[in-house]
Amino acid sequence: MRAPAKSILEAVGATPLVRLNKIGADLGAELYAKCEFLSPSGSSKDRMACALVDAAAASGALSPGGTIVEATTGNTGAALALVAAVRGYKCVCVVPDKIGPEKIAALRAYGARVVVAPSAVEPDDPRSMRSVARRLASGTPNAWLVNQFDSTEGPAAYAASLGPELWEQTGGAIDAVVVGIGSGATAMGLSRYLKAQRPDVAVVGVEPRGSIFAELAASGRVTHPSAYQLEGIGADFVPRILELSRVDAVVQVEDGEAFRTTRDLVRLEGLGVGGSSGAVVAGALAWARARGGSPRVVAILPDRASGYLSKIFDDAWMRENGFLEDDEGLGTVRELLRVKGNESVITAKAHDRVRDVVARIKAHGISQLPVMQGDELLGVVSEVDLLRYLVSGESSLEGAVEPLVESHYATATPDTRIEVLQATLADAGVAIVVDAGRVVGIVTKIDLIDYLTKRSG
C-alpha cells in the first residue's frame, strides 16, 4: 500500500497524459492532453507556486506567518492560496476585472484576500494589476511579492517536474509540446528540459489574438495589445523570464475558437477544462494542420472548467458575445470586407519616401496605411503621424517613412467576429486583417459603423 501524503502539496504533479480521440480526428497527428487541471488547485501553477514559496522561505524573503502578494488572472493565485493555506501564510491576490466570479470565490474559499484591478489600462498605469500588487506588498508588513514574471524559479520548477514527467510518459516519442504563454514559465521550463533530451522537439506557444508575443517572435517588435476575453494566457508586456528564441512557433487563436474548443473538450472528450486549455488545444490543432504529416503532439491543459461556469459554459454569455457558431450574431470581418468592397489593400514599403506616402494617402482618400518590410507587416503610418512629423521642424519629405511607423494597431482575421472587432477597435483604433500571413484588408471605426448601418437596413 502506498503511504499517505503528508499534505495535499505532496499530490502536486504526476498528472495523467490522455489521448484525444474525437477532437482532431481528421488530422494525421496523434494529439495528447497533459491534464494539469487535475492538480490540487485545478491549475498547472501548483508546481511553480510550491517552488516559488519554498525558495522565498529558504532565502528569508518570506517569513513564517507572512503575506504572499501577487497579480494573477486566477490560476497562479489559486495555487499560491493553496500553498498559503497549508503552510500558514496569508495571501493577497490582485485580479483583473474580466475574470469570472467563480475564480474570485475560489480564491476567497482558500482564505485569500482578493483585490480587483481594471484590465483596460497600460502596464505601467498605477491602477494596473502589477502596480497595485507592488503597492500592496510595499505597504503590508512582512509581505513578499511573488513576481512570477521575473522569477527564474518558475521555469526551473517546470524543467524539474513537468518536463521529466512528459518525457517518461511519452517514452521520448514526442514531436511537439503546445503550451499557453503568459508569464512564459511553463514554456521556458519545458523548452529547457525537452530540448536537452532531443533538440528537434518543437515547443509551440499559444496566445489570444490581441496579445503581443506572435508579432514579437516574428519581427522583434513590441506592438500595442488589443482587447481579448481569454484569461490566463497572453500579455501586454514582455515578462523578464520569457526568451522567445526558445520557442519554435507562436500561434494566435481567436476567443471564440478557444471557447468552443473548451466546450468540445468537455462534451466530446470528458475533460473538464477551462478557457486556457481550450486555447492550447485550438493552437495545437492549427499547428498540426499547418505542419502536416503525423506528428505526436502534447497539449498542456492548465486550468479547469469550474472557473468558467458563468462564462464559457453559459449559452447566454456565449451568445451575447457572439461566440456560438449557431448564432449569427453580427457576422464576421469577412462579411464586413465584402460589404466594404474588394478593393486592393493600399500599402507602403518601409523605404518609401514620406513625400510619396503622403501623396498615396491623399490620392486614395484614406487616413492610414500598412507599412511592409518585405512580405512582413511592419506597422501602420497615419495622418496623425505624418502631421506630427511635418510640424516637428525636423521633417524631410525625402526621408524614408520607416521611422514614422507606429505599432498601435491590432490584427484580425477574416473569421474574427464583429463583436470582438468592436472591442479591438475601441482599444486600437485600426485593425489590419491578415489571412495566412498576407494583409487582406484594413478596418477602421468608420468601416465598422458603415457595415452595421447597412446591416440594420
Q: What is the mean pLDDT of residues 20-39?
A: 95
Q: What are phi and psi of 39, to 5 degrees?
A: -65, 160
Strands 410-412 and 430-435: parallel
Q: What are phi and psi of 406, to 5 degrees?
A: -110, 150
CB neighbours of residue 264 within 10 Å: 17
Residues 6+ apart with CB under 8 A from 454: 339
Q: How far is CA 278 from CA 61, 69, 231, 274, in A?
A: 36, 28, 11, 7
454 is a catalytic site residue: no
Which domains does the chain possess?
A: 12-43+155-320 (3.40.50.1100), 45-145 (3.40.50.1100), 333-455 (3.10.580.10)
pLDDT band at 398 (very low <50, low <70, confident <90, very high): confident
* pTM of the predicted structure, to 2 decimals: 0.80
Tell the burial category of 200 from Cβ atoms under 10 Å away from its Cβ (0-12, 13-18, 19+): exposed
pLDDT band at 427 (very low <50, low <70, confident <90, very high): low
Quote the CA–CA distance of 141 and 14 in Å, as a whole number: 36
pLDDT at 327: 60
Q: Tell me the three state secondary structure of residue 214.
A: helix
DSSP output for 81-125? HHHHHHHT-EEEEEEETTS-HHHHHHHHHTT-EEEEE-SSS-TTS
Tell the burial category of 322 from Cβ atoms under 10 Å away from its Cβ (0-12, 13-18, 19+): buried
Q: Is the pLDDT of residue 48 over 90?
A: yes
pLDDT tens readout for residues 132-166: 999 999 999 999 999 999 999 999 999 999 999 99
pLDDT tens readout for residues 191-204: 999 999 999 999 99
Looking at per-residue pLDDT, the higher value among 452 and 226 belongs to 452
Quote the CA–CA distance of 142 and 133 in Å, as a whole number: 14
**% pLDDT > 90, the chain:** 57
Q: Is the pLDDT of residue 370 over 80?
A: yes
Looking at per-residue pLDDT, the higher value among 432 and 427 belongs to 432
pLDDT at 162: 97
Quote the CA–CA distance of 149 and 387 in Å, as a whole number: 38
Q: How far is CA 205 from CA 43, 198, 281, in A?
A: 18, 18, 11
Say if residues 62 and 70 touch (Cβ distance below 8 Å): no
pLDDT tens readout for residues 208-217: 998 999 988 9
Quote the CA–CA distance of 213 and 135 in Å, as a whole number: 27
Of the residues 45, 90, 103, 311, only one is catalytic, namely 45
Q: Tell me the three state secondary structure of residue 186.
A: helix
CA torsion sign for 20, 23, 25, 27 is negative
Quote the CA–CA distance of 216 and 292 in Å, as a whole number: 25
Q: How far is CA 200 from CA 2, 190, 196, 203, 217, in A?
A: 37, 13, 10, 9, 19
